[in-house]
Structure 1
Amino acid sequence: MKRKQSIKPVSEDPMPLIIGVMGGAGSDIPAHFLDRATQLGEEIAAEGRIMITGACPGLPLAATQGAFKKGGPLSVFLPPLVLMSMLINMVLQHSPTTC
């Protein structure tokens, strides 16, 4: 597949393209869909674009792994409930009453 050369590299682009990857987060996703999501992440990274995901397992994780493998810039969006859960766990782990 030949790449189009019309997209500017991120270093020359004052407003780089941000691509959102959302999708199934279940554990029963067929392997070929996970492979395609990984390939998608690799392509996003190869183009130097910024990828955002919902920070969940499944297709978003596969895309993130693909982008990471190619060294692409990543930006992960944590839904508020996930962030709150992480903060509560951090506080509980470092609380003097739980040590």
Structure 2
Amino acid sequence: MWQEQKGGNSDKCKICLDGAKLFRCEKCQSFFHENCHLPPVDTKRNGWRCTFCTVDSLPRSQQRYRGSEVLERQMEPEEKLKCAFLFLKVYSPLENDVFL
């Protein structure tokens, strides 16, 4: 279940490192602002998990596409989620070592 936090001293958004109104992932216990997270936190949903945890729980796909195929097809929801995951990895100061 997601949990609204009012910004204690140790509670900071994993993306921007600020406090205030934060939501907690039920799996990893990380905090996020509603609009710092991609996709934005669904504040009406119980059992919310962040994109990091959601992608981590996906089965590993070995499907490959040529560049021309990728440009001609619509992205599946799982692929959009993986794009959001990469954006979060890049923008999170705690996670941006993904490319090192």
Q: TM-score, normalised by structure 1?
A: 0.25
Rg larger in structure: 1
Q: Which has a greater percent of helix?
A: 1
Q: TM-score, normalised by structure 2?
A: 0.25
